[in-house]
Amino acid sequence: MPASLQGELQPTVYRFKLGGFEAMTVLDSKGIREGLHPLYGANATAEEVQAQARLNNIDPNKLEHPNIPTLVNTGKELVLFDVGNGALPREYEQLKARMPAGNLVARLGQAGYKPEDIDVIVLTHGHPDHIGGLVEGGKPVFPKARYVFGAAEYDFWKKNEGVREARKFNQKLFMTICEPLADRSTFIKPGDEVVPGIRSVDAAGHSPGLMAYHIESEGKRFMITADTFTHYVMGVQKPEWHFDMDDDKDNAVATRKRMLDMLATDKLFVASFHMPFPGIGWIDKTASGYRWVPHSYQLNL
């Protein structure tokens, strides 16, 4: 009998030690998108974007777009950064074709965590793929968690001023999901501490109040960059290329350049929400700019 094809079998959770902390990245979901141009590099030509793709041995006309929340166990508390798509495509007709359903809870379960184990949920920003898994059927998915929002981000959605056309549905969604959680939430500024060892870093641009998070334990450091970079080639090698889903294009470019310099100079280990799974690695300076270097075994020693 011929061997039958079994389909994809790929890792979906990745746990590692970082000083006295443990961290884990979880593949909530992934989709295939048309692109790369003009989703990336609308301020460049399609030929330039496709040439950059070929240079990196990736398809010039479509891309894989994963969603990867990070969980940090400080030894005292379990802190989850972003929650993926959750039940959004099941609960909202207009999202059905646009995003896959999230698998965060199931995959946390495979790694030994129950929803009620999560103590703190940090929302890096308010886009659907980051807040979608907070509630299902109107109920909080993580029943014991408290929430942390960037104050600027929360205020932007709540005030509902200057929201661009493409984000109007997002604004309604944010208020539906997040406003009922406000009494269990704290609202922080760049530089504030979430819990000992975890501090916010301004990364505004992709969204008005996007925050990165700097994690430090026993001298080991890493940065959760969230959506500062949304593609490991486009955002890193060509930070000046616009990304269609960046709400403030110029500010997003400035933030990418500032963050790339910091990450490369400080040799900071990075966890990034939309990089290829497990979404962890480094930024290296090259002769012409920067490149993403995936983790190999450095953290396992």
Q: What is the 3-state secondary structure (H, E, C) of 240-268?
A: CCCECCCCCHHHHHHHHHHHHHHHHHCCC
Nearer Cβ to Zn ion, position 147 or 247? 247
Instruction: With beta carbons less than 8 A apart as the criterion, state whether 118 and 70 touch.
Output: no
Q: Which is nearer to Zn ion, 28 or 227 (CB)?
A: 227
Going by their DSSP bridges, the two strands 193-195 and 198-202 should be labelled as antiparallel
Closest CB to Zn ion among 28 and 129?
129
Q: Which residues pair with 199 in a beta bridge?
A: 193, 214
Q: How many CA atoms lie within 13 A of 57 on its CB side?
A: 0
Nearer to Zn ion, 21 or 82 (CB): 82
Write down the residue that tokens 């999230």 correspond to. 102
Burial, 168: exposed, middle or buried (Cβ in 10 Å; 0-12, 13-18, 19+)? exposed
CB of 65 to Zn ion, least distance (A): 9
Rounded to the nearest whole angstrom, what is the least distance from the CB of residue 226 to Zn ion in the complex?
Answer: 7
User: For residues 74 and 227, which CB has a smaller minimum distance to Zn ion in the complex?
Assistant: 227
Give least dist CB 297 to Zn ion, A. Answer: 28
> Minimum distance from CB of 274 to Zn ion (Å)?
6
The DSSP code sequence of 152-219 is HHHHHHHHT-S--GGGHHHHHHHHHHHGGGGGGEEEE-TT-EEETTEEEEE-TTSSTT-EEEEEEETT
| Of residues 85 and 200, the one with the C-beta less far from Zn ion | 85
Kindly state the smallest distance separating residue 225's Cβ from Zn ion, in Å: 11
Task: For Zn ion, give the closer residue by CB, 29 or 73.
Answer: 29
CA distances from 59 to 34, 49, 54, 132 (A): 10, 11, 7, 29
Report strand pairing: 21-26 vs 70-73.
antiparallel
Shortest CB 201 distance to Zn ion, Å: 17
Would you tell me which residues interact with Zn ion (CB under 5 A)? 129, 227
Q: Which is nearer to Zn ion, 16 or 229 (CB)?
A: 229
Q: Which of 193, 222, 296 is nearest to 22 (CA)?
A: 222
- Output the smallest distance, CB 126 to Zn ion, in A: 10
Q: How far is the CB of 169 from Zn ion (least distance, A)?
A: 15
